[in-house]
Amino acid sequence: MSHLSELGTVLEMEKHYFDSQSKIILSFKSVQAALLQQCLDECKHLSLHEIASLIQPSSSHSKIITLNPEDLRMPGARIIYDLLYVLQHPLHPDRSILIHIEAQGEESYKYHLPRRSLYYAYRLIAGQQNHSLGFQNESYNDILDVPSLWICLRHAKKKDNCWLEYTTEEKLRKGNFRFDPAVYGISKIHLLYPGIQSKEEKKVDEILKEPKDVMELLSLLFLSDREFEQILLILEKKYDIL
């Protein structure tokens, strides 16, 4: 029994180490810019440099200065977010977007991840009321949009290279009036399940000729078995990550 307990401790330490290393990689502005360029419609037309310049607070530092990740607004329901930062809205400079990133070293089978991700997103929306970052009193039009990206690195093989998106949709049941989707599309949740793209599958020259792909990007950053020099070459030449 003691051996099993020791093994469990080692595995838990490995999980925490894997999670912490993932957060370090994701904290680089160049990596975040590449992710946002692939995942956010508002950023698809921008270069990585332009996206990185929108990350707040603006600075020349290569890493993101995160907001306080600890959410204590609900007694007995503490949350610590992995990465939380503000992006100046690419299309509306007078507005901001609250970017939330979660790195899942190993997916839990105690619950369905869409439920947890929705709960986190709603907490981030509700937590803006009477907060300096969000909106005051009943100024609900000032709620910041909250894109939430969940990067799941160890998961069931059937989920390899799946990208799932969850949004709020309006369904007209009767009548003729409809709201602009920008009014209620406050949050988009992305669940990203990259697979292991082995060096045996494709040569570097072949990869460089193909379009950018967020699953390939995440695999290179976290899961690839390629030599380190090859990974750096692809990240620089194809994804503009120096």
pLDDT by position in tens, the chain (length 242): 455 455 445 445 555 666 778 888 999 999 999 999 999 999 999 999 999 999 998 888 889 988 888 888 888 899 999 999 999 999 898 899 999 999 988 888 889 999 999 999 999 999 999 988 888 999 999 999 999 999 998 888 999 999 999 999 999 999 999 999 999 999 999 999 999 877 777 889 899 999 999 999 999 999 888 888 999 999 999 999 87
d(CA 18, CA 8): 15
Give the pair of three-digit tokens for residue 186. Answer: 């406050």
> Model pTM?
0.89
Give the pair of three-digit tokens for residue 140. Answer: 């609900």
Give the pair of three-digit tokens for residue 128. Answer: 């803006």
Residue 19 makes CB contacts below 8 A (sequence gap 6+) with: 82, 103, 104, 105
d(CA 52, CA 37): 10
For 151, other C-beta atoms within 10 Å of its C-beta total 22
Q: Residue 83: enclosing H or E segment and its boundaries?
A: strand 83-88
Q: Is 58 helix (H, G, I), strand (E, B) or coil?
A: coil
Cα–Cα separations (whole angstroms), residue 193 to 83, 125, 222? 18, 25, 12
Q: Is 72 helix (H, G, I), strand (E, B) or coil?
A: coil
The stretches of 28-184 forming alpha helices (DSSP H) are 29-39, 48-54, 113-126, 181-184
